């Protein structure tokens, strides 16, 4: 075996060995979580990181993720088989000491009610929307207290994050801006800035609280309008005082608007939001 082949083999062996030695988290299901505020029910999927059961003295930050159907289960994804593989990304980030161990709460959307719950204003063109504040009340007043009681969380704003993509990214940004007392970190992936004549940009302009840590991204193949909107959001955040210390903007040149694309960025997002302590 030549030295070049030997080196390549050794690199491959080390990489595969690291993969096989990564400890795995586990998933818990909560079915039929009922909200009095929204008047509906949805299922929850909770990712508990490696070591959760072995270290009962330890508490963990929490990431509340929208569109829970698409995060962990290939058979439940919008396009069956194309899911975020979020548990695998979390295992890799945590196992590689590139991210802090974190609890992830996947919150199923409300199917036909998704657009209404994930948007901050009513849009006449879409003939709907505007229940994001009610959805936020559900998270803050009903869901988060249950999660904090049932699991070993670090419940303060500094260790509470919210995230999602598309309309899920829009509502996550809206709640990070309107409830910064609760959500100190946000993952805003391929956000639907276009909603209701880009009303979210005005929300940025009006922001006056303690700035959360924010990740914003967009795919290069999501269309010119989406790219321009994401860049406008970036510019508004920077003009409002966000900086490299609490903001990251990423353009994934070859990515489209899909679960596969968001899966490809999920590990990097976790590393940004939850750097090892």
Q: List the one residue out of 139, 54, 56, 55 whose CA is nearest residue 105.
A: 139
Per-residue pLDDT of the chain (277 residues; tens, 9 = 90+): 455 545 554 554 454 444 556 799 999 999 999 999 999 999 999 999 999 999 999 999 999 999 999 999 988 988 888 899 999 999 999 999 999 999 999 999 999 999 999 999 999 999 999 999 999 999 999 999 999 999 999 999 999 999 999 999 999 999 999 999 999 999 999 999 999 999 999 999 999 999 999 999 999 999 999 999 999 999 999 999 999 999 999 999 999 999 999 999 999 999 999 999 8
Q: Structural domains in the chain? A: 27-273 (3.40.50.1820)
C-alpha separations of 247 from 8, 41, 183 in Å: 37, 34, 15
What's this model's pTM, rounded to 2 decimal places?
0.92
Q: Are 83 and 71 in contact (CB under 8 A)?
A: yes
Cα separation, 60 vs 69, whole angstroms: 23
């Amino acid at each position: 075996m030549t030295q070049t082949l030997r080196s390549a083999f050794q690199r491959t062996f080390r990489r595969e060995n690291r993969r096989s030695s990564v400890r795995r988290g586990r998933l818990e299901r909560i079915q039929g979580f009922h909200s009095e505020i929204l008047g509906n029910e949805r299922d929850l999927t909770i990712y508990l990181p490696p070591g959760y059961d072995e270290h009962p003295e330890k508490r963990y930050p929490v990431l509340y993720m929208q569109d829970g159907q698409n995060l962990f289960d290939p058979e439940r994804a919008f396009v069956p088989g194309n899911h975020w593989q979020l548990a695998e990304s979390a295992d890799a980030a945590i196992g590689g000491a590139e991210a802090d161990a974190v609890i992830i709460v996947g919150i199923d959307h409300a199917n036909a009610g998704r657009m209404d719950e994930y948007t901050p204003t009513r849009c006449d063109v879409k003939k709907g929307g505007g229940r994001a504040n009610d959805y936020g009340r559900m998270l803050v007043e009903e869901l988060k207290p249950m999660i904090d009681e049932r699991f070993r969380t670090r419940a303060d704003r500094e260790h509470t994050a919210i995230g999602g993509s598309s309309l899920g990214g829009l509502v996550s940004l809206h709640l990070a801006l309107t409830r910064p007392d609760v959500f100190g970190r946000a993952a805003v992936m391929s956000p639907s800035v276009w909603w209701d004549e880009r009303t979210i940009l005005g929300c940025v302009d009006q922001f006056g609280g303690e700035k959360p840590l924010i990740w914003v991204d967009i795919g290069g193949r999501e269309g010119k309008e989406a790219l321009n909107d994401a860049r406008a959001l970036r510019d508004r955040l920077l003009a409002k005082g966000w900086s490299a210390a609490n903001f990251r903007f990423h353009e994934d040149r070859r990515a489209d608007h899909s679960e596969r694309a968001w899966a490809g960025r999920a590990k990097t997002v976790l590393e940004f939001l939850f750097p090892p302590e």
